[in-house]
A and B are shown apart, each in its own frame.
Chain A
Amino acid sequence: MIIALPVFLPLAFMIFAFLFRHFHGREYVALGAATLNLLVAVFLLVEVNTEGMVKMQMGDWPAPYGITLIADRLSALMVLVSAIVFMAAMAYSIQSVDTRRKSFGFYLFSFGILMGVNGSFLAGDIFNLYVWFEVMLMASFILMSHGGERNQLEGAIKYLILNLISSFFFVAGIGLLYGKMGTLNMADIAQKLMNFETMPPELNPAFILIFVGFAIKGALVPFFFWLPASYHTPPPVVTALFAGLLTKVGIYSLIRFYALFLHQNSQFWQPLILWIAGLSMVIGVITATSQFEFRKVLSFHIISQVGYVVMGLGLFTVGGLAGAIFFLAHNMISKTNAFLVAGYVHRQKGTLNLKILGDFYKEHPLWAIFFFISAFSLAGLPPLSGFIGKYLLIKAGIEAQQLGIAFTALFVGFFTLFSMVKIWMEVFWKKTPDKIPAPIIKIALLDDKPVNINWMKWSSGAMAIIIILAGVFATPIVEYCTLAAESLMQPSDYINFVLENN
């Protein structure tokens, strides 16, 4: 039963938000619902860890005909990490989002995103996955344009159009796949593919279309344009939520597809995916170093870090996949926290231009430490969680004899460190420059009455502590990721589990 709750709980909150629009404690109800969601995710993880997999057939229709919700170790971990990210964002939003946005459904659509994300992680049917993508796209488009400022609308239009194109590719691929296979249940398709010696070439167009759809969603190299064009425009907490959740869903789906279908044609897909991974890492990090806006630097870094995850997938060994899963989880938390700190800087200084900012360490040392932890975790310094992720990936790359990609990953790590140090120097360390006229500091989009920022501090601090803990006590997490990777490498368990009728 518990596997249905990550979908129904956000829906129940959305109904509440529709019916009690003027309820004043809505922030706290949202935080409570996010906490409940976290509890559900923890229980789901425990249950999956003891039993291996959990499934539920919607409407009691048996597997290839009905819609299956299935959680294996990978999906349960993803649901848990997105619940942590979401809870931090909800706590942060209490004091960082203005009342006008709150009463126009900020929480309603945030939970729409949560529902779409959880649904995508649990979907066992390709069309169902597409529907969850659309739920997520609509909710995120509204949050992106929410408030209707000029540059925000510009970002939202780019975001919507490019993501609609991605959906178009995805659904076209689904149509072709259904025409050839006559089923859309992932396990059923994988089972039918196993009957062939090699992948039938008629299926390649469908898989390439679906791959392009996922690559746009996941912001991989030739298709990443929408991300840096739009992520710096909405309110900070929205960006933090998007950075933590949205691209990761595309990457998760790619991992699932590769493990179930594409690896059967690995002489075509493996070099392609490794090339895309390497190019994403390099191009993302190099464009990031040339930016002079706090959130733009971080946005370009998303592309580079998504490249790391795809690199682990491209190796397709147990070690590589375990590293990819660990890195994905680590990146969701560290990235969100870096954006949360950016939101606080914006609130205090009214700008995020690196050239104008300065002195932040002297004024707010605690926030400087939060940024230090998440940024240097992203750069991969021990003992933070990013170090473990990069170590696992590079080790797997060397073991798999893919020295080129392993050294690219090492080399990109230095550039990541460089641009994080750049943010650190410009925002936190240097003196505020005198000659450049200070911007008119307006506490953008906030209510007039001064509010204390304890909720913001607590949520960002909790994320920083999680980053440290995940780095120091990494052993059980790595073991869990290795188990998840092993079950991904053996899709027959997944197939039999979905298709058996009890």
Chain B
Amino acid sequence: MRNIVLERIVSLFLYVMVGFALFLLFRGHNRPGGGFIGGIIAAAGFLLYGIVFGSEKVLEKIRVNPRYIMGSGLLIALLAALIPMTLGKPPLTGVWTSLAGIALGTPLLFDIGVFVLVVGMIVSIFTNIMDVLKWNS
């Protein structure tokens, strides 16, 4: 049975969750937050969406195969480890630049990598479980 109110709320709420996740991701360097928790909250948004609309709609919504999301998350995190090595420092050392007054550095890059990896991983797990349970309303 379709529930129009629930569907509208959930599809709006997805954006709220992802937006809040991004907020936590960027806030995470000095205050509570970070890539892992942000990734979990974003994935929880997709999970809510999936419970109401089914796993196929989630995959339509994110457009990319979760496998590639996981791969690129690992790649971003690896870059954060390798960039300091090209400057002659040990891997994972924080390297900072400033862009229009905002300090940007490899720790942020690493956090973004973790965020992307966690989203890809959880979406991949729950879409697979939903397919096994035939949860496609």
- In A33-68, the 8 Å CB interface with B consists of 56-60
B92 within 8 A of A: yes
Chain B residues with CB below 8 A from A17, complex form: 71
Chain A residues with CB below 8 A from B91, complex form: 4, 8, 56, 58-59
Chain B residues with CB below 8 A from A56, complex form: 90-91
A56 to B85 Cα, complex, angstroms = 12
Q: Are A4 and B85 in contact (CB under 8 A)?
A: yes
Q: Are A59 and B93 in contact (CB under 8 A)?
A: yes
A1 to B75 Cα, complex, angstroms = 20
Known: A8-B91, A58-B90. A18 touches B85 (CB 8 A): no
Chain A residues with CB below 8 A from B84, complex form: 60
Instruction: Report A348-389 CB contacts with B as 1/0, cut-off 8 Å.
Output: 000000000000000000000000000000000000000000
- In A1-32, the 8 Å CB interface with B consists of 1, 4, 8, 11-12, 14-15, 17-19, 21
A21 to B85 Cα, complex, angstroms = 28
Q: Are A18 and B68 in contact (CB under 8 A)?
A: yes
Known: A4-B91, A58-B92, A59-B93. A19 touches B72 (CB 8 A): yes
Chain A residues with CB below 8 A from B10, complex form: none
- Looking at chain B's contact residues, the main secondary structure is helix
Q: Are B74 and A14 in contact (CB under 8 A)?
A: yes
Can you name the residue of chain A whose Cβ is closest to the Cβ of B110? A59
Chain A residues with CB below 8 A from B82, complex form: 8
A59 to B110 Cα, complex, angstroms = 12
Q: Are A60 and B93 in contact (CB under 8 A)?
A: yes
> Contact check: which of B78, B85, B93, B94 meets A15 at CB < 8 Å?
B78
Chain A residues with CB below 8 A from B25, complex form: none
A8 to B81 Cα, complex, angstroms = 9
A15 to B69 Cα, complex, angstroms = 11
Most buried by A among B72, B90, B94: B90
A17 to B74 Cα, complex, angstroms = 11
A17 to B67 Cα, complex, angstroms = 10
Can you name the residue of chain A whose Cβ is closest to the Cβ of B92? A59
A18 to B69 Cα, complex, angstroms = 9
Q: Are A60 and B81 in contact (CB under 8 A)?
A: no
Can you name the residue of chain B whose Cβ is closest to the Cβ of A59? B92
Can you name the residue of chain A whose Cβ is closest to the Cβ of B107? A59
Q: Are B78 and A19 in contact (CB under 8 A)?
A: no
> Contact check: which of B67, B68, B71, B90 meets A60 at CB < 8 Å?
B90
B89 within 8 A of A: yes
Q: Size range of the interface on B?
A: 10 to 19
B122 within 8 A of A: no
B70 within 8 A of A: yes
Can you name the residue of chain B whose Cβ is closest to the Cβ of A105? B67
A12 to B78 Cα, complex, angstroms = 8
A21 to B68 Cα, complex, angstroms = 9
Would you give the shortest CB distance from B119 to chain A, in whole angstroms? 14
Known: A1-B85, A4-B85, A8-B81. A15 touches B75 (CB 8 A): yes
Chain A residues with CB below 8 A from B75, complex form: 15, 19
Chain B residues with CB below 8 A from A4, complex form: 85, 90-91
Q: Are B71 and A19 in contact (CB under 8 A)?
A: yes
Chain A residues with CB below 8 A from B78, complex form: 8, 11-12, 15
Known: A4-B85, A11-B78, A15-B78. A57 touches B90 (CB 8 A): yes
Would you give the shortest CB distance from B16 to chain A, in whole angstroms? 30
Can you name the residue of chain A whose Cβ is closest to the Cβ of B74? A15
Chain B residues with CB below 8 A from A21, complex form: 67
Can you name the residue of chain A whose Cβ is closest to the Cβ of B72? A19
A38 to B27 Cα, complex, angstroms = 42
Q: Are A60 and B89 in contact (CB under 8 A)?
A: yes
Q: Are B90 and A18 in contact (CB under 8 A)?
A: no
Chain A residues with CB below 8 A from B93, complex form: 59-60
Q: Are B74 and A18 in contact (CB under 8 A)?
A: yes
Would you give the shortest CB distance from A487 to chain B, in whole angstroms? 23
Would you give the shortest CB distance from B93 to chain A, in whole angstroms? 4
Would you give the shortest CB distance from B9 to chain A, in whole angstroms? 34
Known: A1-B85, A8-B82, A15-B78. A59 touches B71 (CB 8 A): no
A60 to B67 Cα, complex, angstroms = 32
Interface residues of A (CB under 8 A from B): 1, 4, 8, 11-12, 14-15, 17-19, 21, 56-60
Supplied contacts A8-B91, A59-B92, A59-B94, 17 more A-B pairs, CB within 8 Å: A1-B85, A4-B90, A4-B91, A8-B82, A18-B68, A18-B71, A19-B71, A19-B72, A21-B67, A56-B90, A58-B91, A58-B92, A59-B91, A59-B93, A60-B84, A60-B90, A60-B93
> 8 tightest A-B contacts by CB?
A18-B71, A19-B71, A59-B92, A60-B93, A15-B74, A15-B75, A4-B91, A58-B92
Query: What are 18 pairs between A and B in contact, CB < 8 Å?
Result: A1-B85, A8-B78, A8-B81, A11-B74, A12-B78, A15-B74, A15-B75, A18-B67, A18-B70, A18-B71, A21-B67, A56-B90, A57-B90, A58-B91, A58-B92, A59-B94, A60-B89, A60-B90
